[in-house]
Amino acid sequence: MDTRSTRIGFISTGLNTYWSQFDGLLEHLEGYSRSIVSHIAQNGDVIVTDAGMVDSPEKAQEAGRMLREACVDILFVYISTYCLSSTILPVAQEAGCTCIFLNIQPDSKIDYAALNSLGDRGRMTGMWLENCQACSIPELCCVFNRSGLRYEIVTGHLKCGQTWKEIDEWVLAAKAFHGMRHNRLGVLGHYYCGMLDVYTDIQKQSSTFGTHFELIEMDELASLRREVTEDQVKAKIEEFGSTFKVSPECDAYELDRAARTSVALDKLVERHDLGSMAYYYEGAPGSEHEDISTSVIAGNTILTGKGIPVAGECEVKNVQAMKIMSLMNAGGSFSEFYAMDFDDDVILLGHDGPAHYMMSDEKVELVPLPVYHGKPGKGLSIQMTVKSTDVTVLSVCEGKDGVFLLVSEGQSVPGPVLRIGNTNSRYRFPCGMKKFFEGWVKAGPSHHLTVGIGHVAGAVRKLAVLFGIPVVTIE
């Protein structure tokens, strides 16, 4: 998978005629610009290409070339004062990405008394122009609309926390955008037979998100598993011990099976440079493939916790959602609806399969299951409850008109859960459990969804803008 940093483009706008007319104006505007660039760069794992003040057609051409060569994923356009749309249009056309107009004043309002007390209309005009961000926005929006260019607006001031939050959400969305465009998704096995809602058009997924799909044979995983050494098995069992709370009920035979499969999965991921994977397989009773298929949960959980999400039942759409959550540093754990608790107004979500162990309220338990319900065989599974905190639930959906995102924010709350060897947690939503559930399912997702830690719906909505797809929010 391409691991290069997300590329953020940045320009300031202005009108070069002003600089000789108003002493100190350019210096003040450049100071505001530097504060914004510095904040963006603090997000980590981003490369910011600052093409400077674009205040003339010549500088527009130079900035456009610089941003095109930098292959920026998103372009912040700081409206520092009035600018001509003719100097910004070519920059956006060359950059070839979504532009975010930063309609950001230095403060919440002009200091009218201070301005009017200057006693010099030239100096007074210069001070006004430091606060003249809104003047250019209508012109730019008009031109971008007519040119078919994608843009959004952040409106606020430099001393407002919400302003910086919106900028951070755009940076987070850009990181997920970049990561999805460079992700390699493995498909191992086949769909769960008859689970029609899970079936997906991987061409649509690829063309929407830029995902590369690697179709992988179970025979390859089986071959890698046969090559696993005893030392590798021992090391993996030790990793199980450090990662999970291994139940005394887990016998040596099952731990050995799970460890061999986990080592082989690691090698498979490395060989194909995978950033995520969807899988399902059954195999003939007593076959090598069945032995593998009934021993994958521990290994796939470890991969998921390391930022390589794995979804069972070959749920490609949901592993895309899990990858988005992972790229947003929110985790992303494979889930489905388990039950409703009308007394506490919560809904229970969980799954028998790989989970994101970093989201657990305590060390995840590795336990034996006497049967995988609805699937063949038996083996080890994960018992986990998501920590009590803010959460975001996300689905990547395919409707009759194409791909869209479905998102909602709520809380993981404490309380009784099912101790059946599955992931299992309780969730409460501001709109109420019934309204959330009915709104969610009527949007048309598959029955799987992804749970992430924290409230990141704002960044998810911005990601949808970057991909040019719809987003539905249940709130």
Confidence category of residue 355, pLDDT binned at 50, 70, 90: confident
Half-sphere exposure of 355 (CA within 13 A, CB side): 30
Q: What is the pLDDT of residue 99?
A: 98
> Would the pLDDT of 385 be above 90?
yes
Q: What is the pLDDT of residue 456?
A: 98
Residue 360 per-residue DSSP state = B
CA distance 134 to 140: 10
Q: What is the pLDDT of residue 184?
A: 97
- Which residue has tokens 């006693």? 119
Mean pLDDT of 365-371: 90
Burial class from Cβ neighbours inside 10 Å (0-12, 13-18, 19+) for residue 12 reads buried
User: What is the tens place of the pLDDT at every residue in 229-271?
Assistant: 999 999 999 999 999 999 999 999 999 999 999 999 999 999 9
Mean pLDDT of 266-277: 98
Confidence category of residue 371, pLDDT binned at 50, 70, 90: confident
CA distance 267 to 246: 23
Confidence category of residue 2, pLDDT binned at 50, 70, 90: very low
Q: What is the pLDDT of residue 116?
A: 93
**SS3 of residue 114 by DSSP:** helix
> Would the pLDDT of 3 be above 70?
no
User: What is the tens place of the pLDDT at every residue in 20-45?
Assistant: 999 999 999 999 999 999 999 999 88
User: What is the tens place of the pLDDT at every residue in 416-468?
Assistant: 999 888 899 999 999 999 999 999 999 999 999 999 999 999 999 999 999 99
Confidence category of residue 370, pLDDT binned at 50, 70, 90: confident
Closest CA to 225 of 302, 292, 298: 292
CA distance 258 to 64: 53
Relative to beta strand 99-105, strand 151-157 is parallel
Mean pLDDT of 146-164: 97
Mean pLDDT of 330-349: 96
Average pLDDT, rounded, for the chain: 95
Q: What's the pTM? A: 0.95
The region of weakest confidence among 236-240, 298-302, 356-360, 388-392 is: 356-360
Q: What is the pLDDT of residue 76?
A: 98
Per-residue tokens: 326: 């992972």
The region of weakest confidence among 280-294, 348-362, 404-418 is: 348-362
Q: What is the pLDDT of residue 372?
A: 86
**For 376-385, b where at least 16 C-beta lie within 10 A, e where not — what string?**
ebebbbbbbb
CA distance 19 to 153: 26
High-pLDDT (> 70) share of the chain, %: 99
CA distance 209 to 396: 11
For residue 466, give every residue at least 6 positions away whose Cβ sits within 8 Å of its Cβ, in sequence order, or none: 73, 74, 98, 173, 174, 177
Per-residue tokens: 408: 């909602």
For residue 160, give every residue at least 6 positions away whose Cβ sits within 8 Å of its Cβ, in sequence order, or none: 108
Q: What is the pLDDT of residue 1?
A: 37
28 strand-pairing partners = none
